[in-house]
């Protein structure tokens, strides 16, 4: 025994040394663990704390309601309505009652089969997620579903989401714009603006330009969830601190200057004309009462997501429904431009009321011949405007020069963006000598000036620009910025901001010269020889100028009769104001491919003016408020 | 001549060992109470079961400490063979849980032999290598027999499969073995051979998903929703504890069920989130004290076998702590190693307390009679 004990004790010193080494290793190991935990808990804790918080406190969005848009009378032109979407949860849905469910929803056989297949094919966690069965169901289906809900306990849910609604449909669609869902590019581009997939944003018109005002601000609440996403606490939202919730801020309402009753009158006037545009502005404020572009697309269909078929139909429509013809497209002004040429001549002292030109029906310039529509004989400025004599203006143009005409046109806001602030406004174009020198060096001819004088050649204006310019003619030379939004209101109707009229420029023209022009414009209708005399109405004296803009569109598809037709007729203009003696509104109308301005556009103008002054204008007797177009479920 | 057991109890009882074990066990039960409070049913009552096991284990430890460890030396091989038989029985009449064979059902108790293999193997190795003292250093050939001793249970446990336990069993045995004198040449051959073998295994033996499992803990781009979930949520729990913790029963990661297996492999993150860095340091220092104290017992042991036992038990605690805390802090792969006294488990508690009893045994008999 003793020997074994001796053996056992042998080498104990060596073992002790080794154990000391082990102790050092253990100390090092545990210190490394402490260091590692120190790194996680103290140095790097911010990210883990954030994840821990995000784990249990899930953010639930509280949507804000988009502000409404009203017209100048307070009638709603863009509002929100609830759309009811029905979802199924395949894992809880009693499939033996599927056929009945499909009947309640009014699904077609095809839709029913597809939904059933989707439900049966759902696997794993997808079986317990919401699956869209049908969006925006009609009232009848909603009533059926709600009545028979107990047949599908936990298997279905109906969720209401707000959808933008435009009660006036196509009317003023371009000015109003529409909404649609944000896409991946938008989310990147507007990263700072807190958009979410599935949210809708303004895509054009007022909806786009005033997006930030209309949209409001989303709220949120952070509620406690567990790992399966189940809500743990039913906190009262109001009692939570600012780190746990933020109330949504509803969007603000906009009141526009548009008068939908006037818009309707214009729409009636355009009946039978497939394509055209009109703008009506208040002469003394620059407020836009009507901005009309035909044809257009119902923004309700755009907002709900347009079908590919309809989309193609719109794209192929030769009248280009997507184009806002009041500000996005520019046209030759034709004879409606002549007042500005005349003013340039008057201001330069080159002509006066007595100056006469003898119209032989033609004006020769070198080897080129510029024609007039008639042989007017000796014409003064007054007659030249009333009867729209081109020869008078050809003769004047040679003396007045291109740059004087351009300068006057610029003064009246032509050739520059009007500043209405919606859509993509085109500046139009007024040619100058400098422009020709730069783009066509050595090719400038007096002929260019002649064409410019009568609103042809390279002159391009928009309908709205011309309306603003004629308003300035009518009000003694004050050019306004066109105003479309008159005020911003809170959801409770409190006025948050009112926008006053904005003067863009006071055009320096001699009042006597201006009244010569306006008198002549009155004569266009009142004078027996006036180009628009046929459109004269008894109720209101109207002043204005007819115009015919030559069209030279390239035909892309000559076999299409609708397209070839469009190249054969000129655009018909009428630009003017009323009442002639003390103007209140300026009206500009363009009938695309209408033909002669006097025949086609002027009667429309006088019809609109008559309606406005006898029925629509504030103070005029107003008929019963038009009924809103009730929501028509999509079928 | 021989002192009475009363005298021995009074004079030689290892109070620091007893106290540190009591404190760790108490903290473990407290943490288990919090960790299982998010559960319902039987799981929420596990802390009571744990107390029962601690009490039972305490009683067993007293018996283990009372019998002179020379007796264990005599029966070391018998215990070893018994544990091997138990490991084989696991496959024959074992209960399969989640596709693994680790348990044998005895009444309502699931007995896990592999927990006891750690001790039995350690005893057998201690006996083999320290029974006789040879004059020179051990050669590679001398190591074949103890190597086979270790390899047999290791293979059986890996077949269950239970990688974590196999790892601990192997490391404890090797730690015990490491007390022998080995020539530098032998060591060089072992390290070199291990390196080459590991490389070959890595290149040709392991499948891609196994490699990913072993390396994913090092990557920042872990698959949080899949294989990296446990470690990720564990990091979240620890990190959000910061200096002082979120308070007892306040671990959101546990209460909202983001942490899995908080009663077995992941009790530490619960402790870390609730008690903060301060609590973590306290627990790690307690473990450090326990292990260093066990090593002190080893160096004071009166003979080689006692020293080897003490080193073995110290290694048992050390490797459990290193691998458990290492895996929950994403420093080591998640291999399923429990944290002594913090993890629930009857077999585990019993085995640990038997280990403590062995330590006490060696400590109380450090002085020559």
pLDDT attached to residue A559: 55
Q: In this structure, how many other beta carbons lie within 10 angstroms of the beta carbon of residue A54?
A: 12
Residues with Cβ < 8 Å from B134, sequence gap 6 or more?
none
- Tens of pLDDT, residue by residue over A120-152, are 888 766 777 778 888 888 888 888 888 888 888
As a whole number, mean pLDDT of residues B301-311 equals 88
- Chain A contact for B277, CB < 8 A? yes
pLDDT attached to residue A626: 36
Report the residue of chain A nearest B253, measured CA to CA.
A52
Of A115, A108, A191, which is closest to residue A156 (Cα–Cα)?
A: A115
As a whole number, mean pLDDT of residues A50-63 equals 78
CB A266 within 8 A of CB A608: yes
- Tens of pLDDT, residue by residue over A98-123, are 888 888 888 888 888 998 888 888 87
Distance (Å) from the alpha carbon of B289 to chain A's nearest alpha carbon: 9
As a whole number, mean pLDDT of residues B125-135 equals 73
In the predicted model, is pLDDT for residue B221 greater than 70? Answer: no
The residue of B127, B256, B274 whose CB has the most chain A CBs within 10 angstroms, and thus the best one to mutate to test that interface, is B256
What span, in angstroms and rounded, lies between the C-alpha atoms of A58 and B256?
12
Confidence of residue A1 (pLDDT cuts 50, 70, 90): very low
Question: Which element (helix H / strand E) includes A87?
Answer: strand A76-88
The helix, strand and coil proportions of chain A, stated in percent and rounded to the nearest 5, come to: 40, 20, 40
Distance (Å) from the alpha carbon of B29 to chain A's nearest alpha carbon: 22
Which residues of chain A make contact with B281, given a CB cutoff of 8 A?
A: 34, 37
In the predicted model, is pLDDT for residue B247 greater than 50? Answer: yes
DSSP codes, A556-573: S-TT-HHHHHHHHSPEEE
pLDDT attached to residue A632: 34
Structure tokens at A141: 């289906």
In the predicted model, is pLDDT for residue B194 greater than 70? Answer: yes
- Chain A contact for B132, CB < 8 A? yes
In the predicted model, is pLDDT for residue A526 greater than 60? Answer: yes
Distance (Å) from the alpha carbon of B106 to chain A's nearest alpha carbon: 35
End-to-end Cα, chain A, rounded Å: 104
The answer, yes or no, to whether the previous bond of A475 is cis (omega within 30 of 0) is no
Tell me, yes or no, if the pTM score tops 0.80. Answer: no
- SS3 of residue A101 by DSSP: helix
Question: Which element (helix H / strand E) includes A82?
Answer: strand A76-88
What span, in angstroms and rounded, lies between the C-alpha atoms of A499 and A430?
30
Q: What are phi and psi of A485, to 5 degrees?
A: -110, 120
What span, in angstroms and rounded, lies between the C-alpha atoms of A144 and A100?
11
Q: By percentage, how much of chain A surpasses pLDDT 90?
A: 39
- pLDDT top residue among B138 and B128: B128
pLDDT attached to residue A207: 93
Question: Of the ranges A86-90, A211-215, A381-385, A457-461, which one carries the lowest mean pLDDT score?
Answer: A86-90
In the predicted model, is pLDDT for residue A234 greater than 60? Answer: no
pLDDT attached to residue A381: 92
- Chain A contact for B104, CB < 8 A? no
Question: Of the ranges A205-214, B191-200, B216-225, which one carries the lowest mean pLDDT score?
Answer: B216-225
Residue positions counted in chain A: 635
- Tens of pLDDT, residue by residue over B38-74, are 777 777 788 888 899 999 999 999 999 888 888 888 8
pLDDT attached to residue A560: 55
Residue A45 has its nearest CB partner, among B239, B314, B326, at B239
The residue of B134, B236, B287, B362 whose CB has the most chain A CBs within 10 angstroms, and thus the best one to mutate to test that interface, is B236
Distance (Å) from the alpha carbon of A124 to chain B's nearest alpha carbon: 15
The ipTM value here is 0.90
Confidence of residue A505 (pLDDT cuts 50, 70, 90): very high
CB A602 within 8 A of CB A544: yes
Which residues of chain B make contact with A53, given a CB cutoff of 8 A?
A: 240
Structure tokens at A1: 């025994």
CB A563 within 8 A of CB A318: yes
Which residues of chain A make contact with B288, given a CB cutoff of 8 A?
A: 26-27, 30
Q: Say if the Cβ atoms of B292 and A23 lie within 8 Å.
A: yes
- Which of the 8 DSSP states describes residue A335? G
Residue A41 has its nearest CB partner, among B253, B257, B276, at B276
Residue B322 has its nearest CB partner, among A8, A29, A40, at A29
Structure tokens at B262: 């908080």
What span, in angstroms and rounded, lies between the C-alpha atoms of B271 and B283?
9
Neighbouring C-alpha atoms within 13 Å toward the C-beta of B89: 14
Place of tokens 């001819």: A445
pLDDT attached to residue A586: 95
Please identify among residues 232-251 of chain A the ones whose CB lies closer than 8 Å to any CB of chain B: 232
Distance (Å) from the alpha carbon of A36 to chain B's nearest alpha carbon: 7
What span, in angstroms and rounded, lies between the C-alpha atoms of B177 and B155?
18
- pLDDT top residue among A367 and B282: B282
Distance (Å) from the alpha carbon of A119 to chain B's nearest alpha carbon: 25
pLDDT attached to residue A6: 52
In the predicted model, is pLDDT for residue B8 greater than 80? Answer: no
- Chain A contact for B74, CB < 8 A? no
- Chain B contact for A9, CB < 8 A? yes
- SS3 of residue B336 by DSSP: coil
In the predicted model, is pLDDT for residue A54 greater than 90? Answer: no
Q: Say if the Cβ atoms of B292 and A40 lie within 8 Å.
A: no
As a whole number, mean pLDDT of residues A158-181 equals 88
As a whole number, mean pLDDT of residues B321-326 equals 92
Place of tokens 């609730």: B274
CA distances from B135 to A350, B129, B132, B182 (A): 132, 13, 10, 11
- Which of the 8 DSSP states describes residue A84? E
Q: Say if the Cβ atoms of A55 and B303 lie within 8 Å.
A: no
What span, in angstroms and rounded, lies between the C-alpha atoms of B214 and B231?
13
Confidence of residue B220 (pLDDT cuts 50, 70, 90): low
Mean pLDDT of the residues in chain A: 85
- Chain B contact for A555, CB < 8 A? no
Mean pLDDT of the residues in chain B: 83
Distance (Å) from the alpha carbon of A194 to chain B's nearest alpha carbon: 26
In the predicted model, is pLDDT for residue A548 greater than 50? Answer: yes
pLDDT attached to residue B1: 44
Neighbouring C-alpha atoms within 13 Å toward the C-beta of A615: 15
In the predicted model, is pLDDT for residue A430 greater than 90? Answer: yes
As a whole number, mean pLDDT of residues B327-338 equals 85
What span, in angstroms and rounded, lies between the C-alpha atoms of B54 and B349?
6
Q: Say if the Cβ atoms of A22 and B311 lie within 8 Å.
A: yes
pLDDT attached to residue A2: 45
Distance (Å) from the alpha carbon of A239 to chain B's nearest alpha carbon: 21
- Chain A contact for B302, CB < 8 A? yes
Of A338, A55, A353, A68, which is closest to residue A224 (Cα–Cα)?
A: A55
- Chain A contact for B137, CB < 8 A? no
Rama region for A315: left / alpha / beta (φ>0; ψ in -120 to 50; rest): alpha
Distance (Å) from the alpha carbon of B95 to chain A's nearest alpha carbon: 29
Q: Say if the Cβ atoms of B284 and A30 lie within 8 Å.
A: yes
- Across A585-626, where does the E strand assignment appear? 585-591
In the predicted model, is pLDDT for residue A288 greater than 70? Answer: yes
CB pairs under 8 A between A and B: 142
Q: Say if the Cβ atoms of A5 and B303 lie within 8 Å.
A: yes
pLDDT attached to residue B132: 61
Residue positions counted in chain B: 369
Helices then strands, each counted (H, E), chain B: 14, 3
In the predicted model, is pLDDT for residue A241 greater than 80? Answer: no
Helices then strands, each counted (H, E), chain A: 23, 23
Q: Say if the Cβ atoms of B299 and A15 lie within 8 Å.
A: yes
Distance (Å) from the alpha carbon of B168 to chain A's nearest alpha carbon: 16
Residue B272 has its nearest CB partner, among A27, A30, A41, at A41
In the predicted model, is pLDDT for residue B315 greater than 80? Answer: yes
What span, in angstroms and rounded, lies between the C-alpha atoms of B7 and A499?
102
pLDDT attached to residue A625: 36
Residues with Cβ < 8 Å from B42, sequence gap 6 or more?
none
Residue A227 has its nearest CB partner, among B257, B276, B298, at B257
- Chain B contact for A6, CB < 8 A? no
- Chain A contact for B54, CB < 8 A? no
Q: Say if the Cβ atoms of B318 and A49 lie within 8 Å.
A: no
In the predicted model, is pLDDT for residue A8 greater than 60? Answer: no
Question: Of the ranges A202-206, B211-215, B258-262, which one carries the lowest mean pLDDT score?
Answer: B211-215
- Chain B contact for A49, CB < 8 A? yes
Q: Say if the Cβ atoms of A12 and B303 lie within 8 Å.
A: yes
As a whole number, mean pLDDT of residues B260-274 equals 87
- Chain B contact for A54, CB < 8 A? no
In the predicted model, is pLDDT for residue A415 greater than 50? Answer: yes
Which residues of chain A make contact with B181, given a CB cutoff of 8 A?
A: 11, 14
Q: Sign of dihedral through CA atoms A139, A144, A149, A154?
A: negative
Q: By percentage, how much of chain B surpasses pLDDT 70?
A: 88
CB A399 within 8 A of CB A386: no
Structure tokens at B110: 């699931």
Question: Residue A371, exposed/middle/buried by CB under 10 A (0-12, 13-18, 19+)?
Answer: exposed
As a whole number, mean pLDDT of residues B134-162 equals 80
CA distances from B47 to A533, B274, B344 (A): 103, 17, 8
Question: Which element (helix H / strand E) includes A496?
Answer: strand A495-498
pLDDT attached to residue A125: 65
Structure tokens at B14: 């290892």
Which residues of chain B make contact with A47, given a CB cutoff of 8 A?
A: 239
């Amino acid at each position: 025994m003793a020997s074994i004990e001796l053996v056992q004790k042998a080498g104990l010193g060596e073992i002790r040394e080794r154990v000391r080494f082990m102790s050092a290793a253990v100390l090092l190991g545990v210190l490394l663990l402490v260091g590692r935990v120190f790194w996680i808990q103290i140095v790097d804790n911010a990210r883990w704390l954030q994840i821990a918080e995000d784990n249990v406190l899930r953010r639930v969005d509280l949507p804000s309601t988009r502000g409404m848009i009203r017209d100048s009378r307070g009638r709603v032109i863009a509002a929100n309505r609830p759309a009811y979407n029905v979802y199924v949860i395949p894992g809880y849905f009693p499939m033996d009652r599927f056929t009945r469910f499909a009947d309640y929803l009014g699904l077609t056989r095809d839709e029913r089969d597809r939904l059933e297949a989707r439900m049966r094919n759902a696997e794993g966690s997808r079986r317990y997620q919401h699956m869209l069965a049908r969006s925006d169901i009609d009232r009848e289906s909603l009533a059926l579903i709600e009545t028979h809900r107990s047949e599908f306990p936990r298997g279905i849910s109906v969720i209401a989401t707000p959808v933008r609604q435009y009660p006036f449909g196509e009317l003023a669609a371009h000015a109003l714009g529409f909404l649609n869902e944000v896409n991946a590019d938008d989310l990147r581009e507007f990263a700072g603006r807190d958009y979410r997939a599935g949210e809708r944003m303004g895509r054009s018109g007022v909806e786009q330009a005033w997006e930030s005002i209309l949209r409001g601000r989303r709220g949120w609440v952070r509620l406690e969830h567990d790992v399966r996403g189940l809500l743990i606490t039913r906190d009262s939202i109001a009692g939570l601190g600012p780190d746990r919730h933020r109330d949504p801020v509803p969007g603000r309402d906009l009141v526009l200057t548009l008068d939908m009753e006037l818009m309707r009158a214009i729409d009636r006037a355009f009946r039978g004309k497939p394509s055209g545009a009109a703008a009506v502005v208040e002469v003394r404020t620059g407020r836009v009462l009507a901005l009309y572009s035909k044809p257009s697309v119902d923004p309700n269909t755009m907002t709900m997501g347009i079908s590919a078929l309809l989309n193609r139909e719109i794209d192929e429509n030769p009248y280009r429904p997507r184009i806002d013809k009041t500000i996005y497209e520019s046209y030759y002004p034709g004879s409606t431009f002549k007042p500005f040429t005349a003013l340039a001549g008057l201001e330069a002292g080159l002509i006066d009321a007595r100056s006469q030109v003898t119209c032989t029906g033609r004006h020769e310039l070198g080897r080129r011949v510029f024609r007039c529509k008639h042989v007017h004989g000796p014409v003064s400025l007054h007659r030249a405007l009333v009867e729209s004599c081109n020869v008078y203006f050809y003769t004047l143009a040679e003396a007045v020069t291109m740059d004087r005409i351009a300068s006057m046109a610029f003064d009246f806001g032509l050739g520059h963006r009007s500043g209405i602030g919606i859509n993509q406004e085109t500046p139009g174009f007024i040619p100058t000598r400098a422009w020709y020198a730069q783009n066509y060096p050595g090719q400038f001819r007096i002929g260019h000036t002649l064409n410019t004088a009568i609103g042809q050649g390279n002159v391009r204006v928009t309908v709205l620009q011309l309306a603003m310019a004629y308003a300035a003619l009518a009000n003694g030379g004050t050019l306004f910025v066109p105003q479309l939004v008159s005020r911003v209101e809170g959801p409770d109707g409190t006025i948050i901001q009112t926008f006053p009229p904005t003067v863009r420029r006071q055009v320096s023209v001699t009042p006597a010269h201006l009244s010569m022009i306006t008198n002549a414009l009155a004569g266009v209708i009142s004078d027996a020889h006036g180009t628009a005399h046929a459109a004269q109405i008894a109720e209101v004296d109207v002043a204005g100028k007819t115009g015919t803009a030559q069209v030279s569109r390239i035909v892309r598809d000559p076999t299409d009769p609708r397209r070839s037709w469009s190249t054969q007729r000129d655009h018909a203009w009428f630009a003017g104001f009323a009442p002639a003696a003390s103007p209140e509104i300026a009206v500009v109308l363009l009938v695309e491919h209408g033909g002669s301005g006097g025949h086609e556009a002027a009667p429309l103008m006088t019809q609109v003016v008559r309606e406005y002054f006898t029925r629509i204008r504030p103070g005029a007797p107003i008929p019963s408020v038009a009924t809103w177009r009730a929501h028509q479920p999509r079928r | 001549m021989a002192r009475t057991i009363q005298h021995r109890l009074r004079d030689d009882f290892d109070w620091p060992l007893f106290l540190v074990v009591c404190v760790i066990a108490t903290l473990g039960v407290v943490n288990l109470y919090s960790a299982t409070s998010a559960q319902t049913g039987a799981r929420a009552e596990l802390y009571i079961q744990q107390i029962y096991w601690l009490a039972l284990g305490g009683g067993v430890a007293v018996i283990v400490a009372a019998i002179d460890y020379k007796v264990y030396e005599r029966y070391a091989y018998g215990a070893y063979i018994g544990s091997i038989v138990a490991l084989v029985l696991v496959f024959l009449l074992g209960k399969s849980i989640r596709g693994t064979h680790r348990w044998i059902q005895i009444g309502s108790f699931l007995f896990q032999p592999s927990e006891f293999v750690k001790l039995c193997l350690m005893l057998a190795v201690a006996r083999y290598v320290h029974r006789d003292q040879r004059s020179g250093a051990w050669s590679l050939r001398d190591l074949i027999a103890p190597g086979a001793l270790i390899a047999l249970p290791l293979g059986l446990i890996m077949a269950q499969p239970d990688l974590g336990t196999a790892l601990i069993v192997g490391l404890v045995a090797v730690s015990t073995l490491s007390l022998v004198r080995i020539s530098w040449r032998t060591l060089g051959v072992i390290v070199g051979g291990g390196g080459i073998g590991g490389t070959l295994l890595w290149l040709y033996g392991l499948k891609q998903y196994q490699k990913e499992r072993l390396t994913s803990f090092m990557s920042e781009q872990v698959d949080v929703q899949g294989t990296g979930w446990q470690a990720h949520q564990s990091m979240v729990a620890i990190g959000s504890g910061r200096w002082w913790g979120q308070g007892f029963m306040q671990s959101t990661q546990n209460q909202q069920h983001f942490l899995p297996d908080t009663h077995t492999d992941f009790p530490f993150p619960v402790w870390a989130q609730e008690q903060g860095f301060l609590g973590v340091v306290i627990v790690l220092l307690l473990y450090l004290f326990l292990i260093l104290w066990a090593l002190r017992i080893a160096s004071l042991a009166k003979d080689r076998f006692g020293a080897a036992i003490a080193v073995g038990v110290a290694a048992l605690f050390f490797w459990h702590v290193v691998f458990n805390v290492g895996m929950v802090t994403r420093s080591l792969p998640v291999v399923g190693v429990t944290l002594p006294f913090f993890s629930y488990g009857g077999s585990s508690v019993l085995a640990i307390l038997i280990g403590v009893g062995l330590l006490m045994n060696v400590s109380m008999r450090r002085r020559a009679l």
